[in-house]
Structure 1
Amino acid sequence: MDFSLTFEQKALVEALTTFVEKELYPHEDIVEELRAVPPDIAQDIKQKAKEAGFIAMNMPAELGGGGLDYQTLAQVERVMGKPSTALSLLVKRPTKILLACKGDQIEEYLMPCIRGEKLDCFALTEPHAGSDARAIRTSARRDGNDWVINGVKQFISHADAADFIILNAVTGEDETPNGRRKRFTVFLVDRDTPGVTITPMKSICTRGYNPNMIYFEDVRVPNSKILGEEGNGFNFANDWLYSGRVMLAAHCTGRAERVFDMACDWAANRKAFGKTIGEFQGTGFKISDMAIDIRLALLMVQEAAWKMDEGTLTRHEASMVNLFASEMVGRVTDNAVQIFGGMGVMEDFPIQRFWRDARVERIWEGTSEIHRDVISRDILKQYRQ
């Protein structure tokens, strides 16, 4: 298979890179200091991204989106992984499960997201249900033509800035050959719906792109707020998780590339004992390891994106690329801190931010332990007699 970029892909990567370096990089320090993107800066970036045609690149062209395939989207995420996460996600790529919108939902939720007028957030994780997503307890009880929602969601990124919540809740139980199983349904819940309370959580990483608690207390929504059909919530979740894991890997690869460039520049110019520190094996070997790690991650991302376009990506393959890339960016940023020495942990230098931000990549979109469990279980299935 040939993973070389087409002329169109190269042009997009170059244009997006120029946009990121000009419009996003200059604001990273203020976002880090304030733990938020100032509203005027956020609005300016959104408007410029919209004018440049960078909004909703992952959505179908016939609906006004970019219509990009997964291989091209992986290159987009690779570029968008380089700036601050909070700034990167102002160039919005809406959650693709919104394509299941129907009827009035299309103009109320889907199209405003594609036009960059509304922002969504996806709410699955709960205090008692992180990696074990099927353990969620947030429930929706039918009451006439309405549903009454009660429960708590946790670690919901960008909920404080979102216009509405894509909520996965339990709507009953079904009898299965393996016993009774929860039935999951996805709802579209406006953040200003009575009974919804959003409380920010403080994180040491990805400042400005903050996790939140969402509390639902007797939140009443009409039946028309169900996305898709009642009971198919986990089908949506799985679709979201597969693409999310590959794109996270692309994001990590781009972040690692930026850190690698900074580390190489430092190693090639910083002198000690009469020569550059890159000439010492202790540093040079780190550079070699970082380069190999990044190359392998990129190849895994490209193959996984190609398989997504082909419709052949398996669950454990999605876990493989997520696991490797998320741990890779951790190794790369840790080596970068060591190469920069004391300056690597100074707040005046961005290396410490990349190091902190890299840590969460091994947790969200599935922990390293969960991915290893998925990979081993799926592989061993074929050996069981």
Structure 2
Amino acid sequence: MYSSHGATRAATTALRKQCRPTFPGRVLGSRRVHARAYEFLQSNHPDFTESQRTVREAIAKIVSRFPDEYWLEKDSNHEFPHDFHRDFARDGWLGICLPQKYGGSELGISEAAVMMQTISESGAGLAGASSIHMNIFGLEPVVKFGTEEQKERMLPPLIQGKDRACFGVTEPNAGLDTLKLQSQARRDGDDYILNGSKIWTSTAQTANKILILVRTTPLEEIQKPTQGLSLFYTDLDRTKVQVTEIQKLGRAAVDSNLIFFENWRVPAADRIGKEGDGFKQIMHGMNAERVLIAAEALGLGYAALRRAAIYGKERVVFGRPIGKNQGIQHPLAESWIKVEGARLMVYLAARLYDQGFESGEYANAAKYLAAETAFEACERAVLSHGGMGYAKEYHVERYLREAMLPRIAPISKELILNYIGERVLGLPKSY
């Protein structure tokens, strides 16, 4: 198993040999079905690399300890999954993409996407994925733009699970228009004084750190819209920061919040990179986040189809299993085709990101496809259960509630279509 000191790619090969699965259809060229939707976390995708399979199998062992009933309880009680987070920290997975030098595993987004899909697919859904989501891509700006002192100070505690971070970007009055952020940071000697607010800041109820983007140069004084924003990774000082939880549709186990801060003194030593370069810095992690969100959506889609397929075989009405009826069978089969197609796009986007491809069309397209197809799969799973699909004990209603989130965050499907229309199709800007 991976240690908190990280694992090399050679170690993933060794681990792979130790935990080779016994699922059918492993041999390429076989006529067996490679991915039976009713199996729990099957691990025989023929397109996965050895490293991806290794991650899949190792993560499956962890998440198998946390069944759907665990997540139902956390969702019902609005309780953060501390023990789940602790297990991932203990086994070194919180630093899967971070440098080995600081305790990470230094694997790619391709492996991280497998991890996030597997978490979600286990029944943990977006609650489980979101409890560790920030660790995967969040401190990429620190890795790329931080000083050596900052990396040594900031990265190991996060990887070890000693620190828990949240992300403060979106504001009530700006929404997705990040360049119009209004929260201010004014330099005062060795500190900055921050005033403003953020919204939809996940895990702020339990976090002790925050990566926050604020304006250090007023809008009227900048020459380009992308200038004037600065990024800080600092202590979440609750004597100066008011955190108010937002009651929401799904993912109740992981909190979303409105935060308000006034005269919050933050050390200049906690500023990442140059003053005014914050927007450029956070953009380095945006494509990675889209890929990870897409993988998490995929997991929900597969989890829903698994439950629907099993229910369709077991539920007998009018003397026959309901899965024998094409009215049940065909919508589920169609959803599997769509979700599997989205999966291929997601892992193409992940591979391109790991190879240094900087343009965002594949990451955006993957997020769009995965979110839309996963939502449809979850909806069809509820409908396939009939009245019991509305009951919490069958879990598919929780999947459906959570499947709404990837459709609207971290970017709406309309903005994705704008991006593709302008950057790929060459059409004029529509807004």
TM-score strictly above 0.5: yes
Is the contact between residue 69 and residue 309 of structure 1 (CA under 8 Å) also seen in structure 2? yes
Task: Say whether residues 1:33 and 2:76 are aligned partners.
Answer: yes
**Contact preservation (8 Å) 2:51, 2:111:** no
Query: Superposed, which structure 2 residues align to 1:62-101 within 5 Å?
Result: 62-82=101-121, 83-91=124-132, 93-94=135-136, 95=138, 96-99=140-143, 100-101=145-146
Q: Percent identity?
A: 26
2:376 corresponds in structure 1 to 331
Equivalent of residue 196 in structure 1, options 221, 241, 265: 241
- Unpaired stretches in structure 2, ≥5 consecutive residues: 1-44
2:158 maps to 113
| Aligned CA distance change for structure 1 residues 107 and 180 (closer, same or farther; 3 Å) | closer
Following TM superposition, by how much is the alpha carbon of 1:306 offset from its aligned partner in structure 2, in angstroms?
0.9
Aligned residue number for residue 365 of structure 1: 410
Alpha-carbon separation, structure 1, partners of 2:225 and 2:164: 36
State the 1:49 CA deviation.
2.6
Query: Does residue 57 of structure 2 align to residue 57 of structure 1?
Result: no
**Partner deviation per Cα, 1:32-61 (whole Å, 9 max, x = no partner):** 221113xxx61x334433333323112122
Give the AA of the match of 2:425: L
Shift of 1:193: 5.7
Which residue does the alignment assign to 1:226? 271
The CA RMSD over aligned residues, in Å, is 2.2
Alpha-carbon distance in 1 for matches of 2:68, 2:389: 19
Match of 2:40 in 1: none
SS of the residue corresponding to residue 393 of structure 2 reads coil
TM-score by length of 1: 0.91
1:17: which partner in 2?
A: 60
8 A Cα contact 2:197 2:258, kept in partner: yes
Counterpart residue type for residue 195 of structure 2: N
Q: What is the SS of the residue equivalent to 1:122?
A: strand
Matches within 5 A, 1:139-150: 139-150=184-195
What secondary structure does 1:234 align onto?
helix
Match of 2:19 in 1: none
| Structure-2 change in CA distance of 1:263 and 1:295 (3 Å) | same
> Aligned with 1:17: secondary structure?
helix
CA distance in structure 2 between the partners assigned to 1:175 and 1:19 by the alignment: 49
Give, in angstroms, the shift of residue 134 of structure 1.
1.2
Number of equivalences: 377
Partner of 2:47: 4
Structure 2 CA distance for aligned equivalents of residues 295 and 147 of structure 1: 48
Kindly report which structure 2 residues correspond to 1:292-303, keeping only aligned pairs within 5 A, or say none.
292-303=337-348
Q: Give the whole-Å Cα distance in 2 for the aligned partners of 1:204 and 1:221.
A: 34
Aligned pair in 2 of structure 1 residues 180, 264: CA closer, same or farther (>3 Å)? closer
The superposition leaves residues 201-248 of structure 1 with CA deviations (integer Å, 9 ceiling, x where unpaired) of: 111200111110111101122221211111111112212211000111
CA contact (8 A) 1:263 1:340 kept: yes
Rounded to whole Å, the distance in 2 between the matches of 1:75 and 1:279 is: 32
- Asked whether 1:209 is paired with 2:279, we answer no
CA drift at 1:155: 0.6
1:312-361 alpha-carbon deviations (Å, 9 max, x no partner): 24223221111111111110101111101111111222011001011111
Cα distance in 2, alignment partners of residues 217 and 47 from structure 1: 32
Q: Note the 1:204-353 alignment, pairs <5 A.
A: 204-353=249-398
- Equivalent in the alignment of 2:15: none
In 2, the alpha carbon distance for the partners of 1:234 and 1:254 equals: 30
CA contact (8 A) 1:25 1:84 kept: no
Rounded to whole Å, the distance in 2 between the matches of 1:185 and 1:243 is 20
Q: Which residue is equivalent to 1:156?
A: 201
User: 2:266 corresponds to which letter in structure 1?
Assistant: V
TM (norm. structure 2) is 0.82
Tell me how far apart the structure 1 counterparts of residues 389 and 340 of structure 2 sit (CA, whole Å): 24
**Aligned-partner SS, 1:55:** helix
1:348-382 Cα deviation digits (max 9, x unpaired): 22011001011111111101111111111112338
Deviation at 1:72, TM superposition (A): 1.5
Q: CA deviation at 1:286?
A: 0.5
- Tell me: CA distance 1:21–1:180, structure 2 relative to 1, closer, same or farther (3 Å): closer
| Aligned residue type for 2:308 | A
> Does the Cα contact within 8 Å between 2:97 and 2:108 map onto a contact in 1?
yes
* CA positional deviation for 1:91: 4.8
Amino acid in the other structure paired with 2:79: A
Comparing 58-67 and 225-234, the one that deviates more: 58-67
